[in-house]
Structure 1
Amino acid sequence: MTVRLSVLDLAPIGPDETPTQALSHSVDLARAAERSGYARVWYAEHHNMARIASSATSVLIAHVAAHTESIRLGAGGVMLPNHSPLTIAEQFGTLASLHPGRIDLGLGRAPGGDRAVFVALRREPSSSDAFPQDVLELQAYLGDDTRVHGVEAVPGKGTHVPLYILGSSLFGAQLAAQLGLPYAFASHFAPAALEQAIAVYREGFQPSAQLDSPYLMVAANAFAAASTGEAEEQFAAARRSRVRMMMKRGPSTPEYSDGEIDAFLASPQGAQLADMMRVTAVGTGAEVRAWLDELASQTGADEIITAHGALTPAARVASVELTAAG
């Protein structure tokens, strides 16, 4: 039995690309996912990152929804501390009104950027402390009864856009369980607490109006290509690119060679960075699909959300298609 698959798209901006081109590639990727039978495509809110074009998630979702027909689309996720619950309810209520039955809303507690981003967004780091209350307020705006007297989300009220809690620690697992919401674990970049978070979620789950029993999504990187060797090359190149980006500290940062990056990743100092992409499927479509099915079996996941990390748009589309075909 094969697990349900979905896609996480960061709308990456290539070295020689503009945001316009990157967003066009996101439409192509979503269309490929739709043709291939994926359940949904999600976009993550990031700020102040030169190579990621998904900062305005609701706008991107609207654009992709207008260029696809049936696949579910959503945020994976909106970083709620950056926004008022009313604003997000209005945005996603509008999306749900334009595209009924196709919109998801994943919610995260991280800022989606650094301290400077908080300042630019006119928010405070302490905004994260109100995340549980903000989720409940948002949920009510999208439901039938507001929690704020005299304030309703229009559009939004009565749309019942399904909420998902995202996380990479036990906090999100506990909150998703307490509120009876689906839980998506970010094991594609932070796998350390995966098993413990799953246990916490399942053991503490309380049924809700949205969900009768736990629904678990596990994120995994995927590099599917025509041959195993080609997929391995794509993975190695993508991992080096990520390490270079994380090590960049300004114009004075040296340009490390591939060999130097590989040596660093193999060293004790680089072990933590190397471990970040531990949950990664690499190979032919059949090999990647088998690996993802095994991950689902090991974790009990109801759905695997795949992040196709090849560095070129064509390779990402191919990875999506090959993985689905298995």
Structure 2
Amino acid sequence: MDGGGGDVVREYRKGNWTVQETMVLIEAKKMDEERRMRRLEGGDGERSKPAELRWKWVEDYCWRHGCLRSQNQCNDKWDNLMRDFKKVREYEKRTNADSKRSYWMIDKNERKDNNLPSSMLPEIYEALLQAAERKIQRSVTPNLAASKSTALTPLPVQQYPNPNCQARPLLLPPPPSQQQPQSEPPFPQALPAVDSYTSDYSDSPAKRRKTGEGAGVSGGGAMEDIGSAIAKIGAMIADAIRCSDEIGEKHHREMVALHEKTLEMEESKAEMTRQGINGLADAINKLANSILALAAGNRHSPPPPPNHNH
């Protein structure tokens, strides 16, 4: 085994995938997704990494865990798994709205009629569902952080002192009349520079000074920005929690339906066993009655006449 990147030629296994191989592939994809998200969060340039190298990593992981498949086999199998998983998941969503029976309750013919995979195993569906939920939860956290950063970016503008300090002398009363013509040109030239710097922020200090607002109003505007950002973050967190709750509830309903189906099958099997035992007992009783009747008939029949031949 080359461990990835060596010169040892691998002999890949062919044929149908076993359940164990499929579970190893799902775990490999989960680990690869976590690895990719960690590199994205760390700014390690994972976006530019070719997909072929990622599937090579999946192949190496599978080989380390006894799944002797190539990266192309893993890629094709994963595509098929996700296609079947999405079909079953969408059908399960429609069952709640249309009052249809769950995928796990219908036979292969009904599954074929509904364009569904005929043999999706519960444990494989469960593993894929968990992987999808983990991917959703991981994608929510960076989005919240990005929205928080975006919502709060206007606030540091109010902390920059240089434009404000340059504008303050321009707002002082002009000097005596003999110097007034010399001080007027800088006055109209400086104000547009301050306004252009802060034109994107309606609560900037320069605009408040221009309109004659006080420092207390500036503090109130900053608090409004913070409150608005907190409200947006709270709304996003609430949406993420609601989405997670819906996924959890859907998963719970699916597991309950699967459990009920299992109980029905066990009850049916037990009923067949009881019927078989009852039939066997009836046959034994009939055989015993026949034997007793035969024995009683032999006991009451007259003995044969004696033989008097001398």
Give the TM-score normalised by structure 2: 0.26
More strand by share: 1
Give the TM-score normalised by structure 1: 0.25
More helix by share: 2
